[in-house]
Amino acid sequence: MKKTLLFFASIIASIGMMAQAPVPTNWDCAGALPTGYSEIELTSSNSYVAPLCVSTPASYKMDRTGEALTLWVNDVPGALSYQLRGTGSGTWSGTMTVQESVDGSIWTTLHTYTNADVNTTSFILQTDIPNTTSRYIRFFYTNKVSGFNLAIDDIAIAIPSAGPAQEIAANFSTANVANNSTIYFASPVGTASPIVVNLENLGTVNTLNITSALISGVAATDYSITSSPTSVAALGTAPINITFNPSMAGTRTAVLTIANDDADENPFVINLNGIGGSFATEPMSNPTAMSFTNIKPWKMTASWIKSTADGFIVLRKEGSAVTDAPVDGQVYDVGMGIGTSKVFFVGDGDSAKIQEMVANSTYHYAVFAYNGIANFTNYKQSSPLVGSQTSSGLNAGTYYSTVDSNAASFVTDLTSKINNHFQIFYSDYDNTIIPNYFLRDTTGDDKVFNCDYSGETKIFTPPFGFVGTNSSREHCFASSWMPTFGTTGHEDKEAYSDLFNLKLANQDDVNAPRSNRAFGEPLTSTTNYLLATFGTDAVGHKVFSPRTDFRGDVARSLFYMTTCYHNADNDGSINSWSWNSIRVAASFGDTAWTLSSKLNQSLMKQWAQLDPPSNEEMARAEYIYSIQNNRNPYIDHPSWICLVDFTTMNKTVNCNVGINDIDATIQASVYPNPTSDFINIDLDEKLNKDAVISLADMTGKTVFEVSTDAIASTINTSSFAKGMYTLTISSEGRMVKKKIIIQ
């Protein structure tokens, strides 16, 4: 913002803040879309990083039929230039059309690229000349052919080339002012402040004649023109001097209309948005009628009916109502915090697509209207539109209808069910689960994510890149453990790219040291990185342990992979994934080893039981189901883990793998466990006061509770749903918790 000697603040913006880009405009295709640019992005990833770019760090990526990048400009466009390159091997195949439009609805072709028109080895500078009446330019991926994508970089629209005829232009406070755009400024109430709009004649020969300059509109009496030119010489400038003297506080709008003899811009109109005092006029009311749609465990859409205002800001808080409010004169970006709330939307729309969620959680929203821009912004702080919505949870529906856990064929039936799925290629990890699930907004247009294993928080400036963020998509069930390792096409197989197995991890400090080592509990720690530990276990094996609250996630991924691909690899061959059968090649100075010799099944089952599926794990599983079209049965049915012997991949009837006490300040015996019809509880002592016995499901909902002074009790569990439960016995501040499996 620039201040004059009269302490009068001014700022230039495009028409009504409606996101038109000024001419000239340019974008290096890195980071967030600039003003005036919009997109249809079908994979939520729009970037290539070096070396697939001209200007580092990124180029714009197009990889699906129907994707489009649109520019909306506020003035006559000059030459359109851009760098274009295809990706893929051999001659590029597909169709991309550059289009133009007067109104953004009816499009005509400016340039069509088909097949060999696009170079796949280097970027080629392209130039097109739009029609002078066009205000929209669109790059449209008309037909994507498998194996080939597009990269666009360094997009620019220039000012039209000067000719001999008169051509009107204007600037205010050194910035270009397009026809029908808006300028902003402020002055204390009752204080006259000068506004200077400089007219320009871009013509090289003819004089620009000004017939009149008039001010009209709601607050026209707060403005007066003190001088105005009657002509502007070729390549010359001349000022229109205006005095702004606001009669009251708030927004004082008017329209400056300049009649002239420019062939295509007569009249030339500038909207005047003056502010009396410090802030724009506060909106009369906030929006109404909040509603929620597309409710998933990982996302939802919040909508509202707009009130009369320049825009709206959405705050969100988990677990309790929003009590914070934006402060007048402050500008907020998505990702910023306001008190205990976070900003999830800023703009003039009537809906917001919300991510950064987990399953079974209630999110509270407050929507505030505002007027003005920059430090003139005035928020309607009282009586915001409020609403709340709980994200959905696991929703398997009838997915497992063909699987009977009591059947002798249970394991093979389960494999047949979950092995049938869509393959999301390993290379598409950063186009799918990273932008749609992992990434969260933070301040300064940056993004943030966490390392699954160590819990490390990583903040970066988009676009995302594995190298730039020192991260990787790590194979939980190591690639070298897979029976297809070392065979031709191993990295193209479904098992290699399965999203249930890939974890987002720090590359240098976590993924590389872990390598293909088995998971376990180090007795002697050799290396720690935050909550991840590397070391030697009790029997001398080098093992890796992730953060405690991710151990169950790891175990369920391992069990899933073994079940999904046992004797059902995607190339149609027979490959045993039983842990006794998998032989891991010698590496890191170690001899070859069988998976079951170092990956302790009982320990992994205990990890799964002590760290049951969290709301975060459920949300991730549901997202993967939405694109991969299969489920992890051990997240949906944790008790099924105990029905499989993963060393042999046979069904087992011995499910007692040692369910540990979490807190044994009260001594009690609980049996049978797992169970189906009842649970016996024997206390080892007579308590002084009644014991409260409760049973809660995985969501924390209490399904049974009783107070008793009996040493022995029985709970009838026949009516409870199958799954993992937490049994709690408490008395006089003492407590014991036990994990219970109901089959």
pLDDT at 74: 84
Rounded Cα–Cα distance for residues 604 and 657 (Å): 10
Q: Is the pLDDT of residue 297 over 70?
A: yes
Spatial neighbors of 561 by CB under 8 A, at least 6 apart, are 476, 477, 495, 498, 500, 501, 577
Residue 11 confidence class, pLDDT cut points 50, 70, 90: very low
Taking the C-alpha atoms of residue 689 and residue 703, their distance in angstroms, rounded to an integer, is 23
pLDDT at 331: 94
- Average pLDDT value for residue range 210-234: 97
Average pLDDT value for residue range 496-508:
97
* DSSP β-bridge partners for residue 366: 315, 386
Report, as an integer, the average pLDDT of 220-248. Answer: 97
Cβ neighbours, 10 Å, residue 268? 21
- Using only C-alpha atoms, the chain has a radius of gyration, in whole angstroms, of 32
Of the pLDDT bands very low, low, confident and very high (cuts 50, 70, 90), residue 342 is: very high
pLDDT of residue 663: 38
Residue pLDDT, tens place only, 350-375: 999 999 999 999 999 999 999 998 89
In terms of Cα–Cα distance, which of 364, 355, 365, 352 is closest to 297? 355
Mean pLDDT of 283-287: 98
Please compute the mean of the pLDDT values over residues 507-517 and round it to a whole number: 95
Q: Does domain 2-13+162-276 have CATH number 2.60.40.10?
A: yes
Assign domain 663-742 one CATH number from 2.60.40.3080, 3.20.20.140, 1.10.3720.10, 3.40.190.10.
2.60.40.3080
pLDDT for position 512: 94
CATH superfamily of 288-390: Immunoglobulins (2.60.40.10)
| pLDDT grade for 382, boundaries at 50, 70 and 90 | very high
d(Cα 114, Cα 96) in Å, to the nearest integer?
A: 7
Number of residues that this document lists for the chain: 743
pTM: 0.78
Q: pLDDT tier at 473 (50, 70, 90 boundaries)?
A: very high
Q: In what order do the strands lie in the sheet with 37-40?
A: 37-40, 68-72, 136-144, 94-101, 108-114
How far is it, in rounded angstroms, from Cα 169 to Cα 500?
Answer: 58
pLDDT at 664: 41
In this predicted model, which residue has the larger pLDDT, 553 or 730?
Answer: 553
Report yes or no: 32 and 445 within 8 Å, Cβ to Cβ. Answer: yes
The vertex-453 CA angle with 316 and 582, nearest 5°, equals: 135
**Mean pLDDT for the stretch of residues 400-416:** 95
Whether 134 and 44 have beta carbons less than 8 Å apart is answered as: no
Across 323-346, average pLDDT? 96
Q: Are 598 and 541 within 8 A, CB to CB? A: yes
Q: What is the pLDDT of residues 34-63, one digit of tens each?
A: 888 999 887 666 788 878 899 888 899 998
pLDDT score at 372:
93
Task: Measure the CA–CA gap between 506 and 471, rounded to whole angstroms.
Answer: 4
CA separation for the pair 445, 69 (Å, rounded): 20
% of the chain with per-residue pLDDT over 90: 69
The runs of H, that is alpha helices, within 323-424 are 410-419
Query: What is the CATH architecture of 24-157?
Result: Sandwich (2.60)
| SS3 of 52-115 | CCCCCCEEEEECCCCCEEEEEECCCCCCEEEEEEEECCCCCCEEEEEEEECCCCCCEEEEEEEH
Between CA 303 and CA 542 the distance in angstroms is 52
pLDDT digits (tens, 9 = 90+) for 536-579: 988 889 999 999 999 999 999 999 999 999 998 656 677 899 99
Q: Are 347 and 287 in contact (CB under 8 A)?
A: no
| Residue 429 vs residues 404, 445, 465: alpha-carbon distances, Å | 33, 22, 11
Dist CA 683 CA 711 (whole Å) = 5
Lowest mean pLDDT among 191-205, 543-557, 711-725: 711-725
Whether pLDDT at 204 is above 90: yes
594-635, pLDDT tens digit by residue? 999 999 999 999 999 889 999 999 999 999 999 999 999 999
Confidence of residue 652 (pLDDT cuts 50, 70, 90): confident
Measured between alpha carbons, how far is 599 from 516 in angstroms, rounded to an integer?
11
Please give the Cα distance from 77 to 157 (Å, whole number): 6
DSSP states of 132-200 as a string?
Answer: TT--EEEEEEEEEPTT-EEEEEEEEEPPPPP-SS--EEEEETTEEE-TTEEEEEEE-TT--EEEEEEEE
Mean pLDDT (whole number) for 567-594: 83
What residues does 242 pair with on adjacent strands? 195, 225
pLDDT value of position 732: 67
% of the chain beyond a pLDDT of 70: 93
Helices and strands (H and E) in the chain: how many: 9, 53
pLDDT at position 47 is: 85
Lowest mean pLDDT among 309-323, 371-385, 672-686: 672-686
Per-residue pLDDT reduced to its tens digit, 690-709: 788 888 887 667 888 888 87
**DSSP-assigned letters across all residues of 575-642:** ----TTT-EEPPBTTBPPEEHHHHS-HHHHHHHHHHSPPPHHHHHHHHHHHHHH----HHHH-GGGGG
Contact 162, 203 (CB under 8 A): yes
Domain ranges in the chain?
2-13+162-276, 24-157, 288-390, 410-438+479-500+517-651, 663-742
Lowest mean pLDDT among 369-383, 576-590, 642-656, 685-699: 685-699
Per-residue pLDDT at 152 exceeds 60: yes
Pairing of strands 723-731, 94-101: unpaired
Q: What is the pLDDT of residue 5?
A: 27
Asked if residue 72 lies in contact with residue 136, where contact means CB atoms within 8 angstroms, the answer is yes
Sign of the dihedral through C-alpha 539, 541, 547, 551: negative
244 SS3 class: strand
b/e 603-624 (16+ beta carbons within 10 angstroms → b): bbbbbbbbbbbbbbbbbbbbbb
Neighbours of 294 (CB within 10 A): 11
| Same-fold call for 288-390 versus 663-742 | yes
Starting at the earlier edge strand, list the strands of the sheet with 440-441: 440-441, 447-450, 457-460
The pairing of strands 136-144 and 68-72 is antiparallel
Q: Can you say whether the dihedral through the CA atoms of 154, 157, 158, 164 is positive or negative?
A: positive
Task: Please compute the mean of the pLDDT values over residues 449-468 and round it to a whole number.
Answer: 92
Q: Given a cut of 80, is residue 591 above it in pLDDT?
A: yes
Q: What is the pLDDT of residue 99?
A: 97
State yes or no: pLDDT of 155 exceeds 50: yes
Reported as a pLDDT band with limits 50, 70 and 90, residue 657 is very low
Name the token pair of 580.
């006794």
What value does the mean pLDDT of the chain take? 90
Q: Which of 352-366, 372-386, 426-440, 578-592 has the lowest mean pLDDT?
A: 578-592
